[in-house]
Structure 1
């Protein structure tokens, strides 16, 4: 007989978080939420998170993003794995603004991070060649 909580199946995000934390310890993740309106990927909102463990699940992260009050289809995470651990807030904000600028110019920059859909599955932005 089973008792207690059953653990949800690990997502691509969960595996990424565990591996990144396991390799680097605590770090800051720059995050960009996007809406996907094929053929476009539209940045909606951004933030940064200080990751100090790997216990958080994709479901918990997605619930946090619900606070953005915008319908989103994907989230790109850019791990800042500096030797000193998580960034100071000012440094994180500066890097986030620079990242936003790079994404505004070229959406393929999203692929330099780890990109996940609303279910925590890995995504990739693909370039569309003009016909």
Structure 2
């Protein structure tokens, strides 16, 4: 069992189905890079983290973490609405990575991550 598994079961029990906005993240050199995004309709709580991670690996990018957001409080939403909300989310995240805190943030092992503020770093000039 992972933190993801616990979160998925609890969220599904609360909603009986929801649409998930998925953002794959790279965390190299202290930076948070947005890599790929998608949406997923969750209609059961039986997907375990290893299966979910394998699906995420199918994106074709080397990811370090995933940020997950519910598309809306209403539970399941239509594909068109999910796509629109994902586009809005990506625009917002491009402007402010700290919005990841509003979602669920997991590492490659399905364990919760926390996004802390970083101190500005002086550029290194050669």
C-alpha distance 46-103 of structure 1, shift in aligned 2 (>3 A)? same
Matched residue of 2:82: which SS? helix
**For 1:38 and 1:77, how far apart are their aligned partners in 2?**
22
Following TM superposition, by how much is the alpha carbon of 1:24 offset from its aligned partner in structure 2, in angstroms?
1.2
Of residues 66, 70, 76 in structure 1, which corresponds to 2:57? 66
Aligned to 2:85: 95
User: Do structure 1's residue 47 and structure 2's residue 14 form an aligned pair?
Assistant: no
Q: Which of the two has greater strand per residue?
A: 1
Matched residue of 1:68: which SS? coil
Per the normalisation by structure 1, the TM-score is 0.88
User: Structure 1, residues 109-131: CA drift from partner, whole Å, max 9, x if none?
Assistant: 11100000000000111111236
Runs (4+) of structure 1 moved beyond 4 Å?
none
Aligned to 2:28: 37
In structure 1, runs of 5+ residues without a counterpart are 1-9
Per the normalisation by structure 2, the TM-score is 0.91
Aligned to 1:129: 119
RMSD (Å) for aligned C-alpha atoms: 1.1
